[in-house]
Amino acid sequence: MEKKNGVIFGAGSFDEGSEELSARSHFGQDSPFSAGLVIAADGGYMCCRRIGHEPDVLLGDFDSLREVPSHRNLIRHSPVKDDTDMALAADYALREDCGRLFLYGGLGGRPDHTLANLQLLKRLSRQGTEAYLIGEGCIITALTEGAIQFPAGFSGIVSVFSGNDQCTGVTETGLKYELDREPLSGDRALGVSNEFNGRPAMVKVEKGTLLIFWDITNGFAVERM
């Protein structure tokens, strides 16, 4: 049985690009994705409601909302916990058999939460879960020992960072600047501000986890190999 998708809303930045992409990709009648399960994490409930969608699950410690909303499927966590509300929502989605996660409202706002969500992306990737962090004009994904193919027609900036002390065997083809099985270190931004040029492109890593950023207007039409 094919696993369903999970769409999670956090309390961070939810700009016009995020709003348009979420509506087009997950809630439109002709959507290429089925939302499957929609989760609001604490203050993400307001973002979800703003686009006219009621989440299937509302969870968190509710420190971002002035009061706990009434909801048919409410899961309340203690504020004394080891994970963020976004991470708890991702874990819930995985237990509910979601195989691909789309995380909105996980960027902007508090920089420590942004960093926590980037760490969450890496953890999910290393566990074998395809996940995307969306906001602030970009889409971010993590790639662990594999490849990601971008179709022809993508435009704008694409940046690639090492999520380890060092990633090895990094290849970038079809971009303005190409790499052939080069190392990327976690303390130098060698892969920042590359560019799509309209051709099909690929990023591959042989060992380690990469964080890959691209412009939100391109959407999710990528293929993993």
Q: For the residues 36-40, what does the mean pLDDT come to?
A: 90
Give the span between the Cα atoms of 201 and 157, in whole angstroms: 12
Spell out the CATH class of 145-217.
mainly beta
pLDDT, tens digit, 9 for 90 and up, residues 116-164 = 999 999 999 999 999 999 989 999 999 999 999 999 999 999 999 999 9
Query: Cα 173 from chain centroid?
Result: 23
Which residue stretches of 24-132 are H helix? 44-50, 85-95, 111-126
What is the fold of 4-138?
A: Rossmann fold (3.40.50)
Domain residue ranges of the chain, discontinuous segments joined by +:
4-138, 145-217
Residue range 44-71, pLDDT digits in tens = 888 888 877 888 999 888 777 777 777 7
pTM of the model: 0.90
